């Protein structure tokens, strides 16, 4: 599956209804984004069961702001609706391919348990 442009109205639906979603935050004027685009596209072709979304930070400033995007390109990955990876800068092709493979192997029960532990600790600190 080739990459798809994602806009705010369908964003939550895409995250919630797909097992693995990668997001590339980019802009037309960004040189490194233009270099990363073909790499992102090539890897997207290798993983038809993964959604590779592209979010133009100029067209979707609220989405960029909600993720506190400070530099582009930035790659973010979700698995089962949970953000599990965020990396500013263009990823090398092998690293992006490796990331997708590792996401497939990621045990989400462990991730959820870790999040619960972290949230409980944060709540205790607030009390």
Q: What is the pLDDT along the chain (127 residues), one digit of tens a residue?
A: 578 999 999 999 999 999 999 999 999 999 999 999 999 999 999 999 999 999 999 999 999 999 999 999 999 999 999 999 999 999 999 999 999 999 999 999 999 999 899 888 888 887 7
Q: What's the domain range around 32?
A: 4-126
The pTM of this model reads: 0.90
- What is the set of active-site residues? 30, 33
Q: How far apart are CA 32 and CA 73, in angstroms?
A: 7
Task: Return phi, psi of residue 67, to 5°.
Answer: -100, 5
CATH number, position 82: 3.40.30.10
Provide the angle, in degrees to the nearest 10, between the axes of the packed helices 93-105 and 31-46: 50
How many domains is the chain built from?
1
């Amino acid at each position: 599956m080739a990459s798809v442009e994602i806009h705010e109205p369908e964003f939550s639906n895409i995250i919630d209804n797909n097992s693995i979603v990668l997001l590339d935050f980019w802009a037309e004027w960004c040189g490194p984004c233009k270099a990363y685009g073909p790499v992102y596209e090539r890897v997207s072709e290798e993983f038809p069961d993964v959604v590779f979304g592209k979010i133009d930070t100029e067209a979707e400033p609220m989405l960029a702001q909600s993720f506190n995007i400070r530099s582009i390109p930035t790659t973010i990955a979700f698995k089962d609706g949970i953000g599990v990876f965020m990396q500013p800068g263009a990823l090398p092709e092998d690293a992006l391919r490796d990331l997708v493979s590792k996401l497939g192997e990621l045990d989400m029960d462990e991730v959820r348990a870790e999040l619960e532990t972290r949230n409980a600790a944060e709540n205790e600190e607030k009390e």
